[in-house]
Amino acid sequence: LDARRPILAGNWKLNPKSRDEALALLNGLSPSPSDVDVLIFPPLPYLGDVLKALPAGVQVGAQTCSNYEEGAFTGEVAPSMLASMNVGYVLLGHSERRTLFGETDSDINARVLTCLKEPNLKVVLCVGETLDEYEAGLLNSIVDTQTRKGLSGVSAQDLINGRVVIAYEPVWAIGTGLTATPEQAQNAHTVIRNTLAAMYPSTAVAESVRIQYGGSVKPESIADLMSQPDIDGALVGGASLDAASFNAIVGGA
């Protein structure tokens, strides 16, 4: 169960608009409590400065990365570059990458596999259904398919070693103020664990993979979410742009 240490992550997306504001946000963050993983995903240009000024114990991730390792791919950022800067995580398959930038399950899987070639990188793989899919009763099949395709070719050992965290983010709850109820989130997390159990013969896989909930998480909602047996943390967008709110979410977990 130690394998499922709570993990609280803040996804800053395309914010804040300047380095000074980014450093002010960072300076407001509390050191990480020793019994949880605290992680922030700042925009890439700020990474160098953020890494120098991190509150104790707080870890850093990139919001996406290339599926190419090196070469003539203008504008891309390779996993090895991130790893060499002591970036520990890469967020992959966020719904904004899927819907606004056209990333398919197979694109996302290629990035997952490229990241896992770097021994010191971990991946947060996002999955989740849209409102239309939810209303059509497709939650289980969408989440199952995105998990299977996203993890295609990932070894059981990498999963047991905690190298992949899954973030369940119902698209209808991202940035909308609508939160899945703790029971709805728990249900979706069970679907993901069942998929892991079906994909990997070793029961250790489904039991050891951490699954975060994401979608309008606020200081007021974190404790009830975390009380669910299969919710191991949260991926926080909007509320991570306010240091006091993010600190309160970490504290409330």
Interacting residues with ligand PEP (CB under 6 A)? 11, 169, 174-175, 214-217, 235-239
Shortest Å, Cβ 92 to ligand PEP: 12
Round to the nearest angstrom and report the end-to-end CA distance of the chain.
16
Shortest Å, Cβ 176 to ligand PEP: 7
- Backbone phi, psi, residue 216, to 5°: 55, 35
With respect to ligand PEP, which residue has the nearer C-beta, 172 or 200? 172
Shortest Å, Cβ 239 to ligand PEP: 6
Please state, in angstroms and as integers, the Cα–Cα distance from residue 234 to each residue in 78, 97, 168, 186, 219, following that order.
26, 19, 9, 12, 11
Shortest Å, Cβ 174 to ligand PEP: 4
With respect to ligand PEP, which residue has the nearer C-beta, 151 or 174? 174
> Which single residue is written with the structure tokens 């070719």?
153
With respect to ligand PEP, which residue has the nearer C-beta, 188 or 217? 217
3-class SS of residue 211 = strand
With respect to ligand PEP, which residue has the nearer C-beta, 150 or 215? 215
Q: Which of 103, 118, 169, 189 is catalytic?
A: 169
Q: Which of 94, 96, 118, 129 is catalytic?
A: 94
Identify whether 94 is a catalytic site residue. Answer: yes
DSSP string, 48-74: HHHHHTPPTTEEEEES---S--SSS-T
Q: Which residues of 77-101 are buried (b: 16+ CB within 10 A; e: fewer)?
A: bbbbbbbeeebbbbbbbbbbbbeee
Question: Which residues are identified as catalytic?
Answer: 94, 169
